Structure 1
Amino acid sequence: MSKEIHLKRYPEGVPSQDDFAIVETDQPTPADGEVLVENIWMSVDPYMRGRMTRKKSYVPPFELNTALDGHAIGRVVQSNADGFAKGDLVSSMKGWRSHFVASADELTALPDTGDIAPEVFLSVLGMTGMTAWVGLNKIAECKPDDVVFVSAAAGAVGSVVCQLAKAKGCFVIGATGDKDKAKWLKSELGVDAVVNYRDADDLSAALGEAAPNGIDVYFENVGGTHLEAALDHVNQNARIAVCGMIAHYNTPQPGPNNLFKIIAQRVRMQGFIVSDNWDSYSDFVAEGMELVRNGKLKHRETVVNGIDNAPQAFIDLFSGKNTGKMLVKLAD
């Protein structure tokens, strides 16, 4: 038998366990040109909340009562397709299930890295790391000596942004709401200053203390008061890369009351989708693997065991229970 996680209904507000169902199905059999894969690792990501609604977005909504989709790393169990053999490790968008059958063009063989664990290709060397790299380099056009402010800095994407910016020679300020995460950002990732938004009476004032000369780049993961604070301190010609706005995913939030700063400071603010830039993935991986091996791109995963616990792992993203990438381990 194979297990799948289905969406039973579109959530109202923060998702709950009642929105999901664990369904057992017959293990599929591959036809000619197809491959049977057992998933080993799967990713849960905040952007998936945007697909749990009927509202139009940049990706279609999840269908109800069918297996959800998401990034995963799996092992080939049986192959009837050229280019794949039993035991090969592959990445796919066929997460949220223990086994699946796919055509060869739905799979990507993992590079032969030897010393790098496969799950890293779901975090700092996967979509997460690529998102950070694209936003920082292509959208924000970050350069040495920039002052870079990162919201959700201890999260999966934010923690990579911090390290990539430090590797460029930037002064990096991270925002988090947790003391242990703040310590990790400074002691292990080398972040220059940390703003704890839960301890700060005034987030904008706290950011001003950390960046007395203003900020040149803001990597946006949160929205709400974080965006307002960033706009209070942007320098002329600052760049804002808008990756996500998790504060708005479950509950509507009012817009910033200081958007005029974009005009006064000639700020460029641009949203982006990482898949639009996937043709640069090989460039990112080449740079990222070198940084990982040199210890300049560290990673931490919050691992939940068992596909049955995948819904709760996803729900926990919205209360910040992860440090770094949230992953679900499905098999050894």
Structure 2
Amino acid sequence: MIDDRPEFIQQHISLQPYNTFRFDYQAEYFALIESVEQLVDAVAWARYKALSITTLGGGSNLLLQGDVSGLVLINRMKGISRLAESASHVEVEFGAGEVWHESVVWAVEQGLGGIENLALIPGTVGAAPVQNIGAYGVEVKDAISSIKVFDLSDLTEQILSPGECAFGYRESRFKQEWRDRYIITSVTLHLQKQPSLMLEYGGLKNVVPDGAGIREVFEAVCEVRRSKLPDPLEIANSGSFFKNPVVDADTYHAIKAQFPNLVAFEQDGGWKLAAGWLNDQAGWKGYRDHGVGVYEKQALVLVNYDCDKANALLDLERRIKGSVLEIFGVELEREPVLLGAAQCQ
């Protein structure tokens, strides 16, 4: 192989435009990938140069803490195709580089249900299974039919079933042992022609009128999310920063006895506590210092006002987790993925 870098691969590129916290760290090598052919060329070159490979989508579930060595790929492979259709469902393949919210809009405009509750979640289609995104009682795993991936070990494409992905609460094998093996190139969703609406979470049933369809649910979700969550284009953030912790019944009842207004939902024999409520009760909502803070309308969201580096935000995370553990005896877990060589504190 000729030791020449493909022309679409750049060197020493700032990742500030490619993460919604807008932290300014550099990629050693960088490429926007718009096709499988480009992906093959980029991966083959990186393998030849013995470089690590990191793939990003919209950068909305990412916490950069330093420069990223090796090759950073930004997945921009797009396309929407109907693959199969029955009386009740349509199988639709979405390119991994499609913007997730725009894909939800497309489905709603086609009258296809199943993902309307997931409106306005930032990021790309390819990132959705990695995190198993969810909102208002719906998780993306419930709509996934199959996932097409590029195998970095042998440079081939494969198709995975949902059962192989070990989906859990904001978890999947893509986030764990498959992190350095597969790059998602497309996701096929099983969408409903006669949608079954999910209105039991987040007060949706109080704002969606009787007899409503998926468009009304979609609009209600957008209205609720806009009222509570900052637009990453206006205030740098990654959406929900902490997972809602799940505790056993004894822990739940002990906390409930001390804090009668505890917000929690029963789940699989345990209880899912609202992390935003915990942070709020610990006094963090609206906090601001050293260029970072906690969003004034939702204590689950950490925001970056004017920092180029992640140090202050990481320190804020540490302090929030410590206070919640001290007050409630509950340990919070970060939702965004940490990436990059750690910087000096």
* TM value normalised by structure 1: 0.31
Structure with more of its chain in helix, by fraction: 1
